[in-house]
Amino acid sequence: MRRKTYVDGPRSDIRVPFTEVVLTGDEPPVRLYDTSGPGSDPLVGLPPLRKPWWTGQTQLAAARAGIVTPEMEFVAVREGVTPELVRDEIASGRAVLPANRNHPESEPMIIGSRFLVKVNANIGTSAVTSSVAEEVEKLTWATRWGADTVMDLSTGPRIHETREAIVRNSPVPIGTVPIYQALEKVKGDPLELTWELFRETVIEQAEQGVDYMTIHAGVLLAHVPLAAERVTGIVSRGGSIMAAWCLAEHRENFLYTHFRELCEIFREYDITFSLGDGLRPGSIADANDEAQFAELRTLGELTHIAWEYDVQVMVEGPGHVPMHKIKENVDLQVDLCGGAPFYTLGPLATDIAPAYDHITSAIGAAMIGMFGTAMLCYVTPKEHLGLPNKEDVKAGMIAYKIAAHSADLAKGHAGAQEWDDALSRARFDFRWEDQFELALDPETARAYHDETLPAAPAKTAHFCSMCGPKFCSMRISHELRAAGMKSKSSEFVEAGGRVYLPVAPSA
């Protein structure tokens, strides 16, 4: 059985949610990280939990001043670490706690290589498809399946309205790419974009409570020709918009030239920068090329500027990268960006499987997570083909929770393996219901088991349909263990100290 539980923090207004999996027999319950929020009525929105906590300081400013904020206390309980570690990591820039003062509905979370690897889910309307209600439903659905943050990438009409509904109903930080809305305002013509229009759009979104924004300030005029001969050119929408603007105007990217002004706005709301990788590779052929790394050097420069303003920063990464070129991405990003959290899209380990890019990219995501990437942007089966529906959002989330947890295990994250161990013990003990409840997706696990052995007694049977009743290796193992235990008994010693007892397991 699963139930929601809360762990009290050091203050009465800090109650940290967990999913508690109650197991059978003597097994202790297992507590899982829970992103689903308290549930909301879409017409009302969520309660403004963090409203009383705003002091006018960004989390980074507070951390640098030695202050542990209520948000940091919350996160410490959530991650099972000390508040001091949380404060330290934020102060050094190695972690961010995205929390716009105008999004008090969010439950604090942290993104950094010392913490659990996080997953972002992209949703959003486009000119071609989707409604506001559908997007709010996708938001709720995504957080139910473990989305740690959600990006609203709406590009069609009703951008403002969609975002308002999403922010008011979101228990997780919301990210956006403001250039999309700015471009809508000029009817899609990049040449009409101006710094003033962009600034106004950022403030509009900041007021609504957007927690982090992707800013493609690293696409410099000098970088654009580096992408001209690529197999897939520029695949980032924001990147291509800024590249078009730079080339047409023959001027430097206004996001770069006005970056310090952006920092001032971001500081006012405690918005976190997500420095966009507008020149990320869009194919295996283009991975780790000069266009990509030239932009990364600029992102490193911008990271340090943002830190001057006490503004939190994470840095976006690729994209499409074959496995043997993944580690170089992380090493370079850590070096150039002073350890600011890396936030990558996949990467896809091959280009050959459209319709399965949640899998091609889960491979790359798990690896880049192991190497230190702090947050993974999910990829759904519809990537390259269309907009994700609810089932695609779920498929993307499941694949990415697998990648993130695999990375947590590989990094030796304290406590991560308890979940695996609890499930494996349930498997070994034939506690089928416990296995299902501990599974990332209990419903599907149960449904698959039912397909071949639907009767209720099979849920307590000491075998399954794979081997049938006679051949079960797990059952034989139990008998071996019983024999093994006996070998430690006095009988064993009296028998002359032989290591193996001639005990016949029943067949």
CB closer to its own copies out of 82 and 473: 473
User: In this structure, are strands 30-33 and 15-21 parallel, antiparallel, or unpaired?
Assistant: antiparallel
Helix (H) or strand (E) holding 474: helix 473-486
CB closer to its own copies out of 309 and 432: 432
Instruction: Please tell me whether 278 is known to bind a ligand.
Output: yes
Instruction: Please tell me whether 237 is known to bind a ligand.
Output: yes
Instruction: Please tell me whether 124 is known to bind a ligand.
Output: no
- Measured at the CA of 85, the angle between CA 80 and CA 89, to 5 degrees, comes to 120
The partner residues of 120 in beta bridges, in order of sequence, read 149, 377
Q: How far apart are CA 460 and CA 253, in angstroms?
A: 64
We find the least distance from the C-beta atom of residue 251 to its own copies, in angstroms, to be 9
CB closer to its own copies out of 90 and 330: 330
First and final CA of the chain: distance in angstroms? 33
Instruction: Please tell me whether 238 is known to bind a ligand.
Output: yes
Count other Cβ atoms within 10 Å, centred on residue 64. 17
Instruction: Please tell me whether 316 is known to bind a ligand.
Output: yes
We find the least distance from the C-beta atom of residue 160 to its own copies, in angstroms, to be 17
Instruction: Please tell me whether 236 is known to bind a ligand.
Output: yes
CB closer to its own copies out of 335 and 450: 450
We find the least distance from the C-beta atom of residue 367 to its own copies, in angstroms, to be 7
We find the least distance from the C-beta atom of residue 244 to its own copies, in angstroms, to be 5
We find the least distance from the C-beta atom of residue 200 to its own copies, in angstroms, to be 20
CB closer to its own copies out of 310 and 383: 383
Instruction: Please tell me whether 384 is known to bind a ligand.
Output: yes
- Residue 31, phi then psi, degrees to nearest 5: -100, 125
DSSP at 149 = E
We find the least distance from the C-beta atom of residue 505 to its own copies, in angstroms, to be 5
CB closer to its own copies out of 63 and 423: 423
| Chain Cα centroid distance, residue 257 | 30
Count other Cβ atoms within 10 Å, centred on residue 8. 10
Give how far Cα 92 sits from Cα of 96, 112, 217, 409, Å.
10, 11, 23, 25
3-state secondary structure of 36: coil
Chain position carrying tokens 């780790």: 288
Chain position carrying tokens 């399946």: 145
Give how far Cα 181 sits from Cα of 149, 151, 252, Å.
20, 14, 21
Instruction: Please tell me whether 180 is known to bind a ligand.
Output: yes
We find the least distance from the C-beta atom of residue 157 to its own copies, in angstroms, to be 11
Amino acid at 227: A
Count other Cβ atoms within 10 Å, centred on residue 143. 23
CB closer to its own copies out of 309 and 371: 371
- Which segments are annotated as binding site for [4Fe-4S] cluster? 464, 467, 472
- Which segments are annotated as binding site for Zn(2+)? 320, 384
- Which segments are annotated as binding site? 122, 151, 180, 216, 236-238, 277-280, 316, 320, 343, 384, 464, 467, 472
